[in-house]
Chain A
Amino acid sequence: MASVAREWREIPGRYNTVGTKCGACGKIYFPARSLCPKCRRASVGKMERYDISEEGEVYTFSVVHDAPDANMRMKPYAVGMVKTTDGVLLTGQIVDIDPHRIEIGMPVRTVLRKIYEDGESGVIHYGFKFVPKW
């Protein structure tokens, strides 16, 4: 279980798929990085906030049958990699569709959903998931 403080620092990336773009080579990173591993020192001070597109298509996925307790009420469910329209690969759950109807290339969009709850009295963690496009 991640600490509440760590979760809190990561909120921009969890709620809104905010990454960074290297001002030197143009590569987009998610989660956000403070240094481009390719350009290294040349990227210092050039890493800019980048709002990743909320639309994309299913790149690959698998169906999870043996779920952790937090997701008991949703299983079986799909976890997939989605290629956004700006070419970034994001990983997350694909919901609001029967997992057996998901196809590679299917258009999806990101939404905010509950990711897990720390029991009945703990913090509720929210983050992005994917649903079929309107």
Chain B
Amino acid sequence: MVKVGIVSYGAYVPRYRITPEEIGKVWGVDGKGMGRGLYILEKSVPHPDEDVATIATEAARNMLARTSVPADRIGALYVGSESHPYAVKPTATIVATAIGASPRMTAADLEFACKAGTAGIQVSMGLVGSGMAEYAVAIGADTSQGAPGDALEYSASAGGAAYLIGKKDLIAVINKTVSYTTDTPDFWRREGQPYPTHAGRFTGEPAYFRHINAAAKMMMEDVGTQPSDYQYAVFHQPNGKFPTRVAAGLGFTEEQVQTGLLTPRIGNTYSGAVPIGLAAVLDVAKPDDRIFVVAYGSGAGSDAFDITVTDGILEYDRDAAPTVSKLIEDPVYLDYASYAKFKGKIVMQE
């Protein structure tokens, strides 16, 4: 089979933050305790002029800055998100134009809760592997919303990452991808509703844990590996606790998970979560490092990836764009009033 993999990548996280403590103050809740329980120290907040189109564009521009592949050789571009700015009018068209990839290409928006970004990587692998496209771009990005006072308000944040998928000059080979998909109503949002609904705390076991475990085990069985064969593991991270718990259950150590675990610092970036986590790993990865990746999207499904870093990473111009740790090193903290204004939670007079 033809080798398909990652040619370049780039991430983006908005500059603003709010702490669970600050959110809790407003609702008479022990926010600090809530944050400890979720293992979320702070979450990113988009500026009022940022949305999935601008976040995806920043991530994609960072991706292109690190490679000499010209944008007009990108044959396909997918933006996976559950917070596309328009209900009808693809985000992918805006991003493709902003990075100079349009018009001779195909583009579409994908939706699968928090795993729409990794779904885009799979679609891109298919197009590139079959020769239908020389290069394809998959982006996962979100500006997720939690209803005021809801548990999700403590975690829902914003960010994204972009991946250039190709066959030549790979920095990492994607050895295999497998998915596990069922019809599970753990989390949803109906058309026209501003905030999502979730089936409550019990959803961890039948949803997140069941799907990630199934996809992870399928993957290791198929490729004949065990957790100790991997230097890094990235799991979907709706909070800081779930990924370490699912990792431990599968036999991965905390050290393997640490590098790709960003939720404690930036919150749950939904479709951006696994792509940003993988970006943080690629920021420091060395040739022959093996990376285990499992995304999760409510509704529900998990995408697993088995990735090996190549010698290409040595000549790759990582410094041409900011690393994930650089992106998050200088945040600006908001009080709840400014946060509510930023997120449009205050109803303005017409």
Binding site for B on A (CB under 8 A): 11, 15-16, 69, 72-74, 93, 95-96, 98, 111-115, 124, 126, 129, 131, 134
Question: In this assembly, does B28 line the interface, its C-beta being within 8 Å of a C-beta of chain A?
Answer: no
Question: In this assembly, does B86 line the interface, its C-beta being within 8 Å of a C-beta of chain A?
Answer: yes
Q: Which residue of B lies closest to A15 (CB)?
A: B98
23 residue pairs A–B, Cβ–Cβ below 8 Å: A15-B98, A16-B98, A72-B348, A73-B342, A73-B344, A74-B47, A74-B49, A93-B49, A95-B47, A96-B47, A111-B54, A111-B58, A112-B54, A112-B57, A112-B98, A113-B49, A113-B54, A114-B51, A124-B51, A126-B54, A126-B98, A134-B322, A134-B326
Asked whether B100 lies within 8 Å of A16 as measured between CB atoms, the reply is yes
Residues from chain B with a CB closer than 8 A to the CB of A112 are 53-54, 57-58, 98
Q: Which residue of B lies closest to A134 (CB)?
A: B322
Distance of A124 Cα from B98 Cα, bound (Å): 14
Distance of A79 Cα from B176 Cα, bound (Å): 49
Distance of A26 Cα from B321 Cα, bound (Å): 30
Question: In this assembly, does B34 line the interface, its C-beta being within 8 Å of a C-beta of chain A?
Answer: no
Nearest-Cβ distance from residue A75 to partner chain B, whole angstroms: 10
Residues from chain A with a CB closer than 8 A to the CB of B341 are 73
Distance of A112 Cα from B60 Cα, bound (Å): 12
Question: In this assembly, does B97 line the interface, its C-beta being within 8 Å of a C-beta of chain A?
Answer: yes
Residues from chain B with a CB closer than 8 A to the CB of A93 are 49
Residues from chain A with a CB closer than 8 A to the CB of B57 are 112
Nearest-Cβ distance from residue A96 to partner chain B, whole angstroms: 5
Q: Which residue of B lies closest to A111 (CB)?
A: B58
Asked whether B348 lies within 8 Å of A124 as measured between CB atoms, the reply is no
Q: Which residue of B lies closest to A12 (CB)?
A: B97
Distance of A16 Cα from B342 Cα, bound (Å): 25
Asked whether B48 lies within 8 Å of A74 as measured between CB atoms, the reply is yes
Question: In this assembly, does B220 line the interface, its C-beta being within 8 Å of a C-beta of chain A?
Answer: no
Q: Which residue of A lies closest to B15 (CB)?
A: A96
Question: In this assembly, does B311 line the interface, its C-beta being within 8 Å of a C-beta of chain A?
Answer: no
Nearest-Cβ distance from residue A97 to partner chain B, whole angstroms: 8
Question: In this assembly, does B227 line the interface, its C-beta being within 8 Å of a C-beta of chain A?
Answer: no
Nearest-Cβ distance from residue B50 to partner chain A, whole angstroms: 6
Q: Which residue of A lies closest to B51 (CB)?
A: A114
Interface positions, chain B 293-350, Cβ under 8 Å from A, are 322, 326, 332, 341-342, 344, 348
Question: In this assembly, does B90 line the interface, its C-beta being within 8 Å of a C-beta of chain A?
Answer: no
Distance of A134 Cα from B326 Cα, bound (Å): 8
Question: In this assembly, does B94 line the interface, its C-beta being within 8 Å of a C-beta of chain A?
Answer: yes
Question: In this assembly, does B126 line the interface, its C-beta being within 8 Å of a C-beta of chain A?
Answer: no
Residues from chain A with a CB closer than 8 A to the CB of B146 are none
Question: In this assembly, does B85 line the interface, its C-beta being within 8 Å of a C-beta of chain A?
Answer: yes
Nearest-Cβ distance from residue B65 to partner chain A, whole angstroms: 10
Residues from chain A with a CB closer than 8 A to the CB of B348 are 69, 72
Q: Choose one: B15, B48, B85, B86; the contact of A73 (CB below 8 Å).
A: B48
Residues from chain A with a CB closer than 8 A to the CB of B50 are 113-114
Nearest-Cβ distance from residue A108 to partner chain B, whole angstroms: 14
Q: Contacts A73-B344, A112-B58, A126-B94 given; 4 further ones with Cβ under 8 A?
A: A73-B342, A111-B58, A114-B50, A134-B326
Interface positions, chain B 60-109, Cβ under 8 Å from A, are 85-86, 94, 97-98, 100
Distance of A126 Cα from B341 Cα, bound (Å): 20
Asked whether B97 lies within 8 Å of A129 as measured between CB atoms, the reply is no
Q: Which residue of B lies closest to A69 (CB)?
A: B348
